[in-house]
Structure 1
Amino acid sequence: MISHSVVEPTISDFYSSYLSWNWPGWKLARQDGRTYFFPDGGAVQRPEQGALIAVQDASGNSLRLQRDSTGNLQRASSGFRWIQFKYDSHYRMTGAQENNGREFVYRYNTDGCLEEVEDADHHIAKYGHEGARCPTSMAIDGRPVWSAQFDESDRWRTQEPSDSHTL
């Protein structure tokens, strides 16, 4: 016996949005007036080369995302505020600087996993890893923040904040 089911659309922020070609790229417009802009992306070699390049709200306020030829985000700006990013030869972000001069540094372990983030006030967030998998723990200035457990297929199982409540 064949049965048929009716699938109802899930109403989301993108319900009734439309996608249109807007030379030299794509425009995704939502009903609330927010619009997302993407480059052409026809000959990309990395997903980042087709990533978001701007967002504009219904009032005309915009966030511009400037990318280099490899798709790495170089600068995010809105009005007179901006943040610039630096990368290493493996496309990993190594630094960020805000327009007010505040700088952030990102460091990686030998497996290429994010190991430390140092903020402008020299606070250090350290990430623990088991091999090359996703971070399994985080501590800020030596104080544990959370730890995570993964199953044998590297799927996330649990995450516990430092106050021992399981998420």
Structure 2
Amino acid sequence: MVVLAACTGTTAPDASPTTTAGATPTPSASESLLTDQIGGHTAVGRLADAFPADLVPVPEGAEVLVSSAAPAADGAVEISLNLRTEQDTGGLLEAVRAPLVAAGFTESAPAVPEAGLAAQAAFARSDGAELLVVGILDRDGTRTMTLGGTVRTTAP
């Protein structure tokens, strides 16, 4: 007779208890953390279909890694943009800042700067109902920028 003590949580009188504490599953070589399934509002290597490129244009020479634009409440759009460029940090931040400020956003520095980032900024409009946060990482002469938040596609 075979008793599966580890599965039932009980042991047979003559069996030694089996423990699995500390055991960590190891993924097999066929498992992947990546998926071919991309959300309906997400695009890899390009801007998502409803991405407001007039409000947040891709800086010249930048490579879009991934972007998204998902409808939110009150006609707003939740957006994210990740890109890579060799443009300098100041120029990259200015390429994002200029169209946002022209559209009525105000810029503020983060209350607590995140360690390791070359630049950070937040842009708000509509009494904070629209908010974008930007972070730029500088590694080995290449900048990676992440931008995310909620905007309306039409000015208030």
TM interval, short-chain normalised: under 0.3
Q: Give TM-score, length-normalised by structure 1.
A: 0.25
Q: Give TM-score, length-normalised by structure 2.
A: 0.26
